[in-house]
Chain A
Amino acid sequence: MLGPMLASALKFIVDGTAELMMQPARFKILQYLRQSQGARYVDQIAKATGIHPRMVSHHLDVLEEEALVDSTYLLVNARDSKRKVAVRMCRATPKADKALDDIRESVTP
């Protein structure tokens, strides 16, 4: 019989979630999204994590494919401009919360 801790660790290794989250930048982004209350857009994430905005977009695409991040486009007022621009607002999904909890459980003795 597998222990519950090992079972949960195996689950996210088998479904590929662990491999995706092993990328250091992605892990950082997910942690930031989880810690921040509400949705964040790419520039905010890039500034907070120190990752290039184009890389942030790439990682968000990958995370969204695996339903670890949920994103919607919103029109917001741009700085120094009267025009509104579309920004991608992202938030961590419950699946990401669960995966991060699983990781914490599996590494905590």
Chain B
Amino acid sequence: MAAQALWREFEYHIRIAFRHLQMLHVSAIILCIVPGVFVVHLPAFAQSAFLFAVLALASLPVLSLLGNLKAMAQLALSAFSGRRYRTERYTSEEVDVTAHKVGLKKVPKVFLTENPQIFSPFTLTFTRTVYVPQNWHAKFPSPREFMPILGHEFSHVKSKWKNRLEVFAAFALVLVLAVILALQTVMLVAQIFEVLFAIYMVSAVSWRNEFRADRKSADALGPEGLISVFEQLKAESGSEEGSYTHPPLEDRINRLMKLLDTGKGKCPPGGGRA
């Protein structure tokens, strides 16, 4: 019980740190670059103070990552725990139509899963498989809302190479900047910068990928379904924050709302919506 209470307290502080993480990242990166270039010319006490500050900032994102790591570890352990959760293949003509509208020639496999560790739909782009929690299907029974969710996941499959290239380009950028920094300043600063900037870039690329999938789904099936789903999720969670991999729901809704006003993402006549 005491350990649980301690963990809850720890998680709370992680969440507080996480709330300002983006700002911390940017400030840490600037802190690495600007004085980092001149750190060797600083007096000894200033060098120590600078390195201490950078280390303290660097530890925050790592600590906040632990919150996500716990959920990931639970999910990974559930694969070996012996318990097998039932998955059910979900097929329908609407799924095929949705895949074709998103631009996929081969329809990805869709499975409904009862695994309680899976809270939201996700896609394995290597195997072209989409997993959707069973309760999501119950929560969004109308195809007008369930198909845009699948459209979003199918968009990840459609743009998988674009996303992989972006991840590769982001890491290349991080590496190049870190090497330049390493040549100009001490190795520790360059290494800390590399870790912080890599975390930031992965998050940025992932957010970009999510926005792109929303847009693709909206273009194919209309933005209304996704907006409705996001509004419901926002009302249920009551949270306005995003995560490392997903942008805040408010931002996603606002972007889709703009499509309503401009008339873009309007379904073609004759049953454009699934």
Residues of A within 8 A of B (CB): 16, 19-20, 22-26, 52, 54-55, 57-59, 61-62, 65-66
Chain A to chain B contacts (Cβ below 8 Å), 22 pairs:
A19-B138, A19-B140, A20-B141, A20-B142, A22-B235, A23-B228, A23-B231, A23-B235, A24-B231, A25-B228, A25-B231, A52-B261, A54-B260, A55-B224, A55-B228, A55-B260, A58-B144, A58-B228, A62-B144, A62-B228, A65-B144, A66-B142
- Tell me the B122-152 residues at the A interface (CB within 8 Å): 138-142, 144-145
Enumerate chain B interface residues (CB-CB to A < 8 A): 138-142, 144-145, 222, 224-225, 227-228, 231-232, 235-236, 257, 260-261
A30: shortest Cβ distance to chain B, in Å?
Answer: 14
Extra 6 A-B pairs, beta carbons < 8 Å, given A25-B228, A55-B224? A19-B140, A22-B232, A23-B231, A58-B225, A62-B144, A65-B142
Given contacts A24-B235, A25-B231, contact A16 B141 (CB under 8 A): yes
Q: Say yes or no: A23 contacts B138, CB within 8 Å.
A: no
DSSP majority for the A interface?
A: helix
Given the complex, which residues of A lie within 8 Å of B232, measured CB to CB? 22-24
- Output the nearest chain A residue to B223 by Cβ-Cβ distance: A54
Distance to closest chain A CB from B145 (angstroms): 7
Give the complex CA separation of A24 and B229 in angstroms. Answer: 10
Give the docked Cα–Cα distance between A16 and B222 (Å): 24
* Count of inter-chain pairs, beta carbons less than 8 A: 45
Q: B227: nearest residue on chain A (CB-CB)? A: A55
Among A16, A26, A61, A62, residue most surrounded by chain B Cβ atoms (within 10 Å): A62
Taking the closest CB of chain B, its distance from the CB of A27, in whole angstroms, is 9
Bound together, the chains give a CA A61 to CA B228 distance in angstroms of 12
Contact A62 B231, CB 8 Å, known A22-B236, A55-B260: no
How far apart sit A78 and B139, CA to CA, in the bound complex (Å)?
A: 39
Min CB distance, B258 to chain A, in Å? Answer: 11
- Residues from chain B with a CB closer than 8 A to the CB of A58 are 144, 222, 224-225, 228
Chain B residue nearest to A26 (CB atoms) is B228
Q: Which of B142, B145, B231 has the most CB of A within 10 A?
A: B142
Contacts of B141 in A (CB 8 A): 16, 19-20
When C-beta atoms are compared, the residue in chain A nearest to B232 turns out to be A23
| A contact residues around B140 at 8 Å (CB) | 19
A54 to chain B, nearest CB (A): 5
Q: Write the nearest CB–CB distance from B262 to chain A, whole angstroms.
A: 11
Which 6 pairs across A and B sit closest by C-beta, in order of nearness? A58-B224, A23-B232, A62-B142, A16-B141, A24-B235, A54-B260
Residue numbers in A under 8 Å from B145 (CB-CB): 62
In the complex, what's the smallest C-beta–C-beta distance from B178 to chain A, in angstroms?
Answer: 46
B residues in contact with A26, CB < 8 Å:
228
Chain B positions within 8 Å of A62 at CB level: 142, 144-145, 228
